[in-house]
Structure 1
Amino acid sequence: MRLKTFSARRMDEAMSLLREELGAEAIILSTRRTGSGVEITAALEAEEPVLIPPAAPTMAAPPGPLTFHNLPEALGRCLARGPLDQTLAGALGFGPMPDGRDRPIMLVGPPGAGKTLTCAKLAARMVLGGTPPVIATTDGQRAGAAAQLAAFTGVLGLTLAVAPSAAALGKALARRMPGQPALVDSAGCDPFDTRQAVALHALAAAAQADLVLVLPAGLDAQEAADLARAFAALGARHLLPTRLDAARRLGAVLAAAEAGPLLLTEAGISPEVVDGLEPLSPARLAARLAAAPRRDAPLAAEEAAS
């Protein structure tokens, strides 16, 4: 699937640009007004494979502590130009997690990224902070998906709404009190599949939500960058990487943040629901990147036995 955003002063000009490049078969995903005019995001199901060129040559980084993390070459060279916390602050965006009060937080991402556990972590923090949220899941088909989240919400004393359609999701979120935060756990989505992308966009539009992309650390850096660009085209503006406690290489996290571009907010650092998230800052991320990597298991086991 090909995704592209067109900007122009007037709607007819933007539509003309869209039709000229993508043709009459393009599906319009969203339209919005900007300070300079209008913006249209559209998708086209490719009949032939679409090759997405990499933003930069990948998997090579300059000598130094960053080499281990398999950063894209251009980003690695940029980060190596000075103190790591300072170059991270200059190259990537960092920001707080949306609070879910004005607009619901909708967690999106590929299957198995850790969205449900992240939703439980955010819910637990809100409950402990005295602002219990409204929680909904759009994943009504995957076996055990709703049951897993319901187990968490039950412990927290919260009711879970299962809302697989845009209409059901809108009704579930409409029952929240003014100023009450809301969390939406979405089903895993392949953003390169037009049907799945359109369905996710419809749910996000119905919820009027802030989309937060949840991606596991340890992916291939270029794969993570491609996913970040695709979810950004669907409206994601924030990135929450998971499994920072288990991944040895963090190049995918940085590549995704740069490619979106997406604001790095928090990260999953533990399977524990309480205190399982850590706010990300240039200093904290620099410390994780510079830390000595854990050794391979066979070597560690051999040394322990000797």
Structure 2
Amino acid sequence: MRLRVFQARSASLAIAAAREAMGEEAVVLGTRRVAGGVELTVALEAAEPELIPPVATPRFELARHNLPPALRFAGADLPEALAARLDFAPLPQDRPILLVGPPGAGKTLSCAKLAARAAMAGRPPLVVTADGARAGAVEQLAAFTRLLGLTLAVAAQPEVLAKAMQARKTGQPAFIDGMGCDPFDAAQAGHLHRLIQAAGAAPVLVLPAGLDAEESAELARAFHLLGARHLLPTRLDMARRLGGVLAAGAAGLALTEAGIGLQVAAGLQPLTPAWLAHRLAGGTPRETAPC
């Protein structure tokens, strides 16, 4: 607040002088008679500075993940922002799980991890491979199932897969290793759709972290059209940029679990907003984050 004193022969002259010097907003606090006229004490509130906030930009540790524009969480609490914009859910429990995805995504190892976890929990699963195209695919999964004391069924054709699923007991976990599929190829997509129908399975997309965000989103949308509603990203122990994982989730897939290593017995991590925020902020996969 600014204070000034004005003297004049009359009150009207003093007020006129105050308004000329301090403007119409000036307020008269008091008057008194002095020798030669009148004295006015006048006040004026000081103007507050206008504050212009900076343009919101992604936090430094998030910028390197190449997040698509819709998933840039500038200024937001990261776990809350993730929970608000992405879906998180456990893997389906009531149907067989058919792991789908492009070649080399990590479907076979993920299938082995899921089978090992169920077996170690005292619930021996039905394990099937529907990958008849990749050289060594059957042998790779068979090596794991033998160690677990499980039988591996090989069923690369829809009618054979339907018969293999008849061996599933009520409530028994069932995991199917799908073939690598280009969802933009009509023949491959059609074959995968027939496998899904034959098994009565819930397709779960397996997608490696580190892919371009737009590429991941396009793949997620394509597999979503084939029935996938859940995402199991792999290589979160190695990938330094996770924008592709978030972009795939934002395309309509619930984030379930993540592959975080080659260990079959302990290579899956349930995905939560807190864990993913910790990882996005630079934490390592094996560090404990609140759930």
For normalisation by structure 2, the TM-score amounts to: 0.77
- Residue 252 of structure 1 corresponds to which residue in structure 2? 244
Q: Does 1:178 align with 2:174?
A: no
- Residue 287 of structure 1 corresponds to which residue in structure 2? 278
The equivalences for 1:132-151 within 5 A come to 132-151=124-143
Hey, what's the Cα distance between the residues in 2 that align with 1:67 and 1:141? 39
- Residue 85 of structure 1 corresponds to which residue in structure 2? 79
- Residue 275 of structure 1 corresponds to which residue in structure 2? 266
* Residue type at the aligned position of 1:90: A
Hey, what's the Cα distance between the residues in 2 that align with 1:63 and 1:88? 15
- Residue 75 of structure 1 corresponds to which residue in structure 2? 71
- Residue 209 of structure 1 corresponds to which residue in structure 2? 201
The equivalences for 1:1-306 within 5 A come to 62-76=58-72, 79-99=73-93, 102-259=94-251, 261-291=252-282
Runs of 5+ consecutive residues of structure 2 not aligned to the other structure: 1-56, 285-291
* Residue type at the aligned position of 2:127: I
* Residue type at the aligned position of 2:117: R
Hey, what's the Cα distance between the residues in 2 that align with 1:154 and 1:65? 43
Tell me by how many angstroms 1:290 deviates.
0.5
Hey, what's the Cα distance between the residues in 1 that align with 2:130 and 2:117? 21
Hey, what's the Cα distance between the residues in 2 that align with 1:64 and 1:117? 34
Runs of 5+ consecutive residues of structure 1 not aligned to the other structure: 1-60, 294-306
Give the RMSD, CA atoms, in angstroms.
1.4
* 1:247-303 deviation per Cα after TM superposition (whole angstroms, max 9, x unaligned): 0000000001001x100000000110011000000000000000169xxxxxxxxxx
Tell me by how many angstroms 1:177 deviates.
1.4
TM-aligned CA distance change 1:142 to 1:292, over 3 Å:
closer
* 1:105-142 deviation per Cα after TM superposition (whole angstroms, max 9, x unaligned): 00000000000000000000000000001111111121
Greater Cα radius of gyration, structure 1 or 2:
2
Tell me by how many angstroms 1:96 deviates.
0.7
Give the paired residue count. 229
CA contact (8 A) 1:62 1:73 kept: no
Deviation >6 Å, runs of 4+: none
- Residue 299 of structure 1 corresponds to which residue in structure 2? none
* 1:55-114 deviation per Cα after TM superposition (whole angstroms, max 9, x unaligned): xxxxxx7343210100001211xx224110000000000001123xx3100000000000
For normalisation by structure 1, the TM-score amounts to: 0.73
CA contact (8 A) 1:80 1:87 kept: no
TM-aligned CA distance change 1:134 to 1:292, over 3 Å:
closer
CA contact (8 A) 1:266 1:278 kept: yes
Q: Percent identity?
A: 63
Hey, what's the Cα distance between the residues in 2 that align with 1:85 and 1:106? 29
Secondary structure at 1:218 match in 2: coil
* Residue type at the aligned position of 1:108: V
CA contact (8 A) 1:120 1:273 kept: yes
Hey, what's the Cα distance between the residues in 1 that align with 2:136 and 2:237? 25
Secondary structure at 2:64 match in 1: helix
Secondary structure at 1:130 match in 2: coil
Secondary structure at 2:237 match in 1: coil
CA contact (8 A) 1:81 1:87 kept: no
* Residue type at the aligned position of 1:279: P
TM-aligned CA distance change 1:292 to 1:162, over 3 Å:
closer
* 1:158-184 deviation per Cα after TM superposition (whole angstroms, max 9, x unaligned): 111110111100110111111111110
